[in-house]
């Protein structure tokens, strides 16, 4: 008898085969992982992870992404660090996120070490605990300065490992500028003039947002009444 009071049923070879098939199906379904797309709404940018208990402070409203029909165009997840050199066995692959790796907001770049960013930034406060991001498996934590002018997302491959800058966001009274000279308060036309050659073709500019490079790794400008109110550098979606 089992502890629940039900008699133990004799198992046949057929039932064993059925159990094995069910177990295999369950293992297969457990391997499925969803792709996390950042929620983009309100008047600010979202820097988020799938399991974060405390979302970052700002969110940008963007158009919904198109439904992918061509799997050959699937974008890889960006790394915050610069692309590594190819091994001697083959040529270097092109960087899928050149704007992410080439741009900066003030002195801050994607891939910069946390120690360097903290040394250059005003005093920062944590916006929540370290959490594991479901889409990438990285461990992330978000910070903001007390004056609310800049925010960072720091990431590492392990919970307590060394961290680097995964995203930078300027807003409020920030006086930081991008490499092409765009800062808070810049008119819409100046952003188009500065970055018109590298706009995200999948997400054309609107009067509320301009995506430079790629939504999956680049610059995102947010506008209110025709001027820049927020600048985000990093992966806007995964």
Establish how many alpha carbons lie within 13 A of residue 40's alpha carbon, considering only the half-sphere containing its beta carbon. 23
Structure token digits, residue 180: 């092409």
Q: What distances in angstroms separate CA 113 from CA 86, 107, 110, 152, 204, one per listed residue?
A: 23, 12, 9, 12, 32
In the chain, where the domains are located: 97-234
Strand pairing partners for 218? Answer: 234
pLDDT of residue 90: 67
Alpha-helix residue ranges (DSSP H) falling in 2-160? 13-30, 98-102, 114-120
What is the per-residue pLDDT for 198? 97
Which pTM was predicted?
Answer: 0.65
- Report pLDDT digits (tens) over 11-56: 444 444 444 444 443 444 433 333 333 334 433 333 333 333 334 5
Which residues are CB-contacts of 52 (< 8 A; sequence separation ≥ 6)? 128, 131, 133, 140, 142
Counting as low any pLDDT under 70, the low residues of the chain are 1-90
Q: At 229, list the tokens.
A: 């109110």
């Amino acid at each position: 008898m089992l502890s629940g009071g039900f008699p133990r049923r004799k198992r046949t070879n057929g039932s064993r085969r059925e159990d094995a098939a069910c177990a295999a199906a369950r293992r297969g379904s457990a391997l499925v992982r969803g792709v996390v797309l950042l929620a983009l709404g309100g008047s600010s940018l979202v820097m988020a992870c799938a399991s974060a208990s405390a979302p970052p402070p700002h969110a940008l409203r963007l158009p919904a992404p198109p439904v992918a029909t061509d799997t050959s165009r699937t974008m890889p997840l960006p790394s915050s660090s610069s692309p590594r050199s190819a091994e001697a066995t083959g040529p270097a692959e092109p960087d899928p996120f050149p704007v992410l790796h080439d741009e900066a907001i003030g002195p801050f770049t994607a891939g910069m070490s946390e120690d360097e960013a903290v040394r250059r930034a005003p005093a920062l406060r944590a916006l929540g605990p370290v959490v594991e991001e479901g889409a990438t498996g990285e461990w992330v934590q978000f910070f903001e300065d007390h004056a609310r002018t800049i925010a960072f997302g720091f990431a590492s491959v392990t919970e307590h490992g060394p961290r680097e800058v995964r995203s930078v966001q300027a807003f409020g009274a920030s006086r930081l500028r991008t490499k092409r000279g765009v800062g808070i308060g810049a008119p819409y036309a100046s952003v188009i003039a500065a970055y018109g050659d590298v706009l995200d073709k999948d997400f054309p500019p609107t009067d509320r947002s301009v995506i430079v490079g790629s939504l999956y790794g680049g610059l995102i400008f947010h506008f209110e009444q025709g001027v820049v109110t927020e600048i985000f550098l990093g992966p806007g979606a995964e």
